[in-house]
């Protein structure tokens, strides 16, 4: 088993995770530093994931990698998109919420999002990687009380189904547009799951760092909030 993986930040919720010779790419939107071609060149197996159809999570330009991508895993809501039809059908797997996919080299499980599409739990070579997509407690300050309540209930309902989830690395939105409520969702998520490393995404603002009370019950784990495309971290276990 590989005991060290390399995570690279692309943009927004776009990341790659290199596990041995296997490369996972999540929510490719843009790659300003053009690091993906090199990452692919260094890998034997490439899997791409898109959590939902929004332009900042699914970019039809991922078809440019079709020759080297082994499989595209796309959320069900992407199937109707014109850009998706240009991807090679034989390499594309559409996943519903609470879906499962397994091959000899990887396992994929999906959860429901609070926005559109799904979130992913992927297992490769003993590594469990969770990518939330736009699953979050979207608490917008300016919203009506009713909408705020709706967002909270929706989040709580989905989170319940993730209770006890185990992941070596979790990517979770910490959107600065939510202001002081930006990490409400991430905080609850860490409380209800068993995650070993938290990576903040969908940030659109200054670096986020957890407050003293962010982690509860002595469950403090390392965090990383990348801002600049191309930033990398080695994560070991
Ligand atoms: Zn988004």
Q: Is 229 exposed, middle or buried (0-12, 13-18, 19+ CB in 10 A)?
A: middle
CB of 13 within 8 A of CB of 171? yes
In angstroms, what is the span from residue 4 Cα to ligand 1's centroid?
29
Res 73: pLDDT = 98
In tens, the pLDDT along 139-191 reads 999 999 999 999 999 999 999 999 989 999 999 999 999 999 999 999 999 99
What is the per-residue pLDDT across 127-136, written as a single tens digit (0 to 9) for each? 999 999 999 9
Quote the pTM value: 0.97
Q: How remote is the CA of residue 229 from the centroid of ligand 1, in Å?
A: 17
* pLDDT one-digit tens code per residue, 65-83: 999 999 999 999 999 999 9
Count of domains for the chain:
1
Q: In the predicted model, what is the mean pLDDT of residues 34-60? A: 97
Q: Could you tell me the residue range of the domain that residue 15 belongs to?
A: 4-236
pLDDT at 217 over 80: no
Nearest to 12 by CA among 36, 35, 34, 30: 30
Which pLDDT score, from 0 to 100, does residue 193 have?
95
- In the reported structure, the alpha carbon of residue 115 is separated from the centroid of ligand 1 by a whole-number distance in angstroms of 8
How far does residue 50's CA lie from ligand 1's centre (Å)? 11
We report the CATH number of the domain holding residue 45 as: 3.60.15.10
Contact 16, 47 (CB under 8 A): no
Cα distances from 80 to residues 52, 74, 112, in angstroms, run 11, 11, 18
How far apart CA 166 and CA 190 sit, in angstroms, is 10
Cα 52 to averaged position of ligand 1 atoms, centre (Å): 9
Distance between Cα 1 and ligand 1 center (Å): 33
């Amino acid at each position: 088993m590989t005991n060290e993986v390399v995570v690279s930040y692309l943009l927004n919720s776009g990341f790659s995770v290199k596990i041995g010779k296997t490369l996972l790419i999540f929510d490719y939107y843009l790659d300003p530093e053009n690091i993906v071609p090199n990452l692919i060149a260094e890998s034997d197996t490439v899997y791409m994931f898109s959590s939902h159809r929004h332009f900042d999570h699914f970019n039809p330009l991922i078809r440019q990698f079709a020759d080297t991508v082994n499989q595209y895993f796309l959320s069900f809501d992407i199937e109707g998109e014109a850009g998706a039809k240009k991807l090679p059908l034989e390499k594309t797997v559409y996943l519903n919420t609470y879906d499962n996919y397994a091959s000899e080299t990887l396992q994929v499980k999906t959860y429901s999002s609070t926005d559109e599409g799904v979130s992913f739990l992927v297992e490769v070579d003993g590594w469990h990687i969770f990518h939330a997509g736009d699953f979050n407690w979207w608490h917008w300050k300016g919203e009506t009380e009713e909408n705020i309540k709706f967002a909270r209930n929706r989040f709580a309902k989905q989170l319940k189904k993730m209770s006890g989830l185990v992941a070596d690395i979790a990517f979770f939105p910490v959107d600065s547009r939510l202001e002081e409520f930006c990490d409400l969702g991430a905080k609850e998520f860490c409380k209800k799951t068993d995650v070993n490393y938290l990576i903040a995404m969908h940030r659109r603002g200054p670096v986020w760092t957890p407050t003293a009370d962010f982690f509860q019950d002595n469950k403090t784990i390392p965090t990383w909030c990348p801002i600049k495309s191309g930033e990398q971290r080695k994560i070991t276990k």
